[in-house]
Structure 1
């Protein structure tokens, strides 16, 4: 894994996913999936037209858009190091939540006004696309579409929200019928049922069961479009042959492919060393909580949430309409960042974060009350995200490597971006132009972007004290 030594950031290759990870709430509920241990063929295929490395939302959506689009390739292979959707997607908060204003100022500082506006528009496009695909394919993944609250719990955060909101509007950002502001503390606290709320901003969001979304798409690709899925088959190295094709080495043999797509998120730099320090592993922790009676039945939460102190200290919360279970994650500022940045071990939990998550609903929500036996924390788990210096992903053709593409580094915000990014990669694989993808140009992994900013992800979060407001930490 990457290492943090003596208080300084020293990124090294992240290695490979842990072979025995813990189970998330989503994965616990998916143990009946026929894709567990699935290999479409007993032997690893020797050749492919397109090979997708990774089976999370990026890989699953890419396969879907590629195989259901025009002129699909005949031989598509998906390699997964562990079980299907066992990486970040299978461990996230089930929150498809577009940023409708908050990160604008930071993105503008990195990429300029035009790109910052495109970044936020892309997130709304993604929510709409997820809604569209779930409906079109009749996917049973508990998809819910409604509204979310950004809740400021201190003045620094309230000021940050207002500054970003005002600058977004001044630069032509659209908030009418999208964002509603509540800047009176008493009103904000009452509306959000949150202790100590100073302000709240309301906007569209969705929630879902991410494992079920991804496995539905992958099963569709296998059953109807002959995709070959090979689980428990980590890609150990990728090299280019003299004929320009790519040779992917695995423990079960080598597959030669015309095109390769890296949907490898936190682990990308192991196979693509040029992304070392550009995409860094970042361990997070999330939980499932059984609500008390005051947050059950007709008193369930009507919105999803992000509760924030300062700029980058936040928790995120959804309450599942189907069964009332609350999914809450966060608390990362409670432990030294050296325990999180560079860490790729999702087989262990951080005890201090477990204790934080055990009490966060009582601390944050007004009237939570005392927990009866078997109310409160049900289970918590860890997941490995992939962060970039600017908190936006790398999406597009890999420079200097014809036939290689990437969608990775989603910075803990993949559910609000990955679906449109994968649709864009599918278009590029068909030979279409970048313009047809509709994605922000700043997502591309150009040599210029890889060289700037000079700081690595590790340096930004460790040596800058984690407080750089131009790098909005997402979820």
Structure 2
């Protein structure tokens, strides 16, 4: 399969169902809102603003969804990145309940956009969370009970060790939460579909138009190498690729690298053995393994991170060892694709959303939960720009600490912390 031009050589780029190209910004342009970044946050913001009648321009440094939005595992799970019992402890019952409702709406929003705009992206239903340790098994059981009893969520149930091993064809796991209302999909095709929907609503999309600098004011001014946008509002939707564009936000997130492989297409019988119910799967390790079957029966398996500016020399080998711990029966299965990408985490693993100045908005730091959360964030940002700020204010009040040492010294602390948790994965209970 031919890889979509300008994208990393992933299975997703090789199976993209559209190859539309958008111009670079050349000259001056005026807009109501200028969105910087064309991942899920930026595209969702632009689409929801266009539906409200706003004139929107989106500037992307590379290709549409070139970053994490086009490279991730494709899981669309309910809940936040932190579990619901943690949220109750962190923020109290009322805010935790609002965040739960937001997460349900986020998953429903993804599905609604796919249906409304006829986006072909291998949409499937269901996610399983697998317990890697006895303590994790107990937690999953209790969390499932909490969601059913306190939140009335009937989409989740607990499965014991025997059932889990039958469902996933691996003896590695002890129990599971099975969530039938969550989704999974082809992430790049979903993003490309959002982009096409934006264009259909009149949004101006520009690729290869890296923003060199910007300033707030009335109007705001956003400058690229060959053009300039003047707009009333700016939305920073750069996430892990923010770089040095906005120092006031940079220290709140940490870009880390995560890696994924895709096997050759598997026979139906073997695919059924690996994931009998065709759900997406993730385990409870701190550095999680996550996997799913693609629309053409490949195993898409993510596992392993690093915290440098470089990727492993052989990504396929780097991830394959994790896959074989789960599925030793795939020893002779050919790995056709291996790729990596950066995502942004926050210290508390909650999204970081807010306003820097009266007309400068942002959202970032989805910590591996970006497909639903970033899509929902775009809708909330659009509401706020239109003057409906209740939900934006709730998200903006969630505290986000700066990484110790800021952007210069955050890396050593992260590496030390990740090493500790990796040791806990290996030796902890």
Q: TM-score, normalised by structure 1?
A: 0.78
Q: Which residue of 1 aligns with 2:78?
A: 98
Q: Which residue of 2 aligns with 1:56?
A: 39
| Alpha-carbon distance in structure 2 between the residues aligned to 1:142 and 1:187 | 26
Which residue among 370, 374, 379 is the counterpart of 1:418? 374
| Alpha-carbon distance in structure 2 between the residues aligned to 1:289 and 1:94 | 16
Computed over aligned residues only, the root mean square deviation of the Cα atoms, in angstroms, reads: 3.1
Matched position secondary structure for 1:187: helix
Deviations 1:246-303 (A, max 9, x none): 1112111332211100111113362221223211211111111225547546556222
Matched position secondary structure for 1:247: strand
Deviations 1:308-353 (A, max 9, x none): 33xx131111112x31112110223xxxxxx42x64x5xxx31475
Q: Which residue of 1 aligns with 2:232?
A: 258
Q: TM-score, normalised by structure 2?
A: 0.85
**Unmatched segments (≥5 aa) in structure 1:** 1-19, 333-338, 470-475
| Alpha-carbon distance in structure 2 between the residues aligned to 1:212 and 1:31 | 6
| Alpha-carbon distance in structure 2 between the residues aligned to 1:249 and 1:369 | 50
Matched position secondary structure for 1:423: helix
Contact 2:49 2:56 in 1 (8 A): no
Contact 1:102 1:164 in 2 (8 A): no
Aligned pairs, how many? 412
Contact 2:167 2:274 in 1 (8 A): no
Deviations 1:52-110 (A, max 9, x none): 101111111111111123xx12x311100001110110111122122389722333343
| Alpha-carbon distance in structure 2 between the residues aligned to 1:430 and 1:101 | 28
Q: Which residue of 2 aligns with 1:382?
A: 340
How far is the alpha carbon of 1:245 from its aligned partner? 2.0
Contact 1:357 1:377 in 2 (8 A): no
| Alpha-carbon distance in structure 2 between the residues aligned to 1:173 and 1:161 | 16
| Alpha-carbon distance in structure 2 between the residues aligned to 1:466 and 1:98 | 29
Matched position secondary structure for 2:242: helix
1:287 aligns with 2:261: yes
Q: Which residue of 2 aligns with 1:33?
A: 19
Contact 1:97 1:416 in 2 (8 A): yes
Residues 181 and 225 of structure 1: CA distance in aligned 2, closer, same or farther (over 3 Å): closer
Residues 403 and 468 of structure 1: CA distance in aligned 2, closer, same or farther (over 3 Å): farther
| Alpha-carbon distance in structure 2 between the residues aligned to 1:142 and 1:362 | 25
- What are the residue-to-residue correspondences of 1:316-331 with 2, within 5 Å? 316-320=290-294, 322-331=295-304
Residues 156 and 300 of structure 1: CA distance in aligned 2, closer, same or farther (over 3 Å): closer
Contact 1:269 1:279 in 2 (8 A): no
Q: Which residue of 2 aligns with 1:132?
A: 112
Q: Which residue of 1 aligns with 2:426?
A: none
- What are the residue-to-residue correspondences of 1:262-281 with 2, within 5 Å? 262-268=236-242, 270-281=244-255
| Alpha-carbon distance in structure 2 between the residues aligned to 1:380 and 1:465 | 23
| Alpha-carbon distance in structure 2 between the residues aligned to 1:155 and 1:323 | 34
| Alpha-carbon distance in structure 2 between the residues aligned to 1:135 and 1:308 | 31
Which residue among 155, 178, 182 is the counterpart of 1:205? 182
Contact 1:148 1:304 in 2 (8 A): yes
| Alpha-carbon distance in structure 2 between the residues aligned to 1:101 and 1:162 | 18
Contact 2:60 2:206 in 1 (8 A): yes
